[in-house]
Chains A and B, each alone.
Chain A
Amino acid sequence: AQSVSQHNHHVILSEAASLELGCNYSYGGTVNLFWYVQYPGQHLQLLLKYFSGDPLVKGIKGFEAEFIKSKFSFNLRKPSVQWSDTAEYFCAVHDYKLSFGAGTTVTVRA
C-alpha cells in the first residue's frame, strides 16, 4: 500500500520568500504524483502532477515540483510567494485512488 508523508505541518513566511514543501512517498510500483492546494473556504484544486517524463514539473501560479525517484520525493517549490498563496497544500500518490499526505498549512505574511 502506498503512503505519503509531508514534513512540515505549518510553514509561516513573508511575501517574496522562497517556499519548499517536502513530500516523500512509499510505493513500490510506478507512481503518479500530485500536489493539490486548498485555499481558505474553497475546494481542492490541482497545482501540478507527474506521470512520467521530465521529472521537473511546472504547475499553475508559478509552482513547480521535482520528482526524485532515488529519494522517493516530490517536493513542491515556489521561488517567491505572495500573500494569496496562503492555503493548505496536499501531496498525493495516485493508484486509481489518491493517498494524501496530512497537508501543510502555509501562511504568507504581507
Chain B
Amino acid sequence: NAGVMQNPRHLVRRRGQEARLRCSPMKGHSHVYWYRQLPEEGLKFMVYLQKENIIDESGMPKERFSAEFPKEGPSILRIQQVVRGDSAAYFCASSPSKDEQYFGPGTRLTVT
C-alpha cells in the first residue's frame, strides 16, 4: 500500500505566478489535511477535506489560497499570485477516519 504521495517535491515560482500542489492520499483514505510549515516554525493546519467537500478551512488565508478534493484524482492546493511569504513546506496528510493521520513527503515551495 503506497503511502501519501505529493508532487512536485520542490516547486519554484516567481512572484505573481500560480502554484499547484498535489496530494494523493493512501488507498482507502477519504480524509485529507493540508499543513504548512514556515521556516523555524511547526506545522500549521490549513484545511481539512473529504471527497468533494471542504470540512474546515479555518487555517487557510482568506485570499489567493484554495483547496479541492474531487471525486476522482488527487487533492489540489492552489496558491494564486504567489508572494515571497508563501515560501514554505506544504504537507498533506490522509486518514481513513478522524484518527491517525499519515503524512506525505511534502512540497517545498520557493518563491523568487
Contact = CB atoms under 8 A, between A and B. Distances in A.
Partners in one complex: yes
B43 interface: yes
Given A43-B104, A43-B106, A49-B100, A98 B35 contact: yes
Contacts of A51: 99
B98 A96 contact: yes
Contact of B42 (A32, A34, A90): A90
Given A42-B105, A43-B104, A44-B103, A97 B33 contact: yes
Interface in B46-68: 48, 56, 59
A94 B95 CA distance: 13
A102 interface: yes
B91 interface: yes
A53 B36 CA distance: 32
A51 B99 CA distance: 10
A55 B45 CA distance: 26
Nearest to B92: A43
Given A43-B91, A46-B100, A49-B100, A98 B105 contact: no
B33 A102 contact: no
A44 B91 contact: yes
B73 to A, nearest CB: 21
28 contacts: A36-B103, A42-B105, A43-B4, A43-B103, A43-B104, A44-B103, A46-B100, A51-B99, A90-B43, A94-B99, A94-B101, A96-B48, A96-B56, A96-B98, A97-B48, A97-B56, A97-B59, A98-B43, A98-B45, A98-B101, A100-B35, A100-B42, A100-B43, A100-B44, A101-B42, A102-B40, A102-B41, A102-B42
